[in-house]
Amino acid sequence: MIVANRLADGRAVFFTEDGDWSPDLARVLVANEDAIDDALDAALKFEGSNDVVSVEAIEADTSTNPARPAHMKPLMQTTGPTVRPDLGYQTGTNWE
């Protein structure tokens, strides 16, 4: 999967199956090694158009549904800080 930060507010977002960006893991694009380069090319175009920064392909854990990042750091980006559940992405309305 591919993660980035939105330019405007820095929020972590993931590249989606329909070629957009979303914090919603249910929409995230999961590509195998053969397809990830093409997906990354498509994702990087958004860096050029100044929607996102720090575009990066990361390993996915597909044992869960929906898939989620395999490593701690991008996994943390899906939840917000664990020590402020009142303020992170979990709260929904704080974010959109």
| Residues making contact with another protein (CB under 8 A) | 5, 7-12, 47, 49-50, 53-54, 70-73, 76-77, 80-84, 87-89, 94
Q: How far is the CB of 94 from another protein (least distance, A)?
A: 8
Distance of CA 44 to the CA centre of its chain: 13
Residue 3 burial (CB < 10 Å; 0-12/13-18/19+)? buried
Q: Closest CB to another protein among 18 and 83?
A: 83
CA dist 85 and 36 (Å) reads: 32
Q: How far is the CB of 52 from another protein (least distance, A)?
A: 9
Q: Where are the beta strands (DSSP E) in 24-87?
A: 52-57, 60-61, 68-69
Q: How far is the CB of 29 from another protein (least distance, A)?
A: 21
Q: Closest CB to another protein among 9 and 41?
A: 9
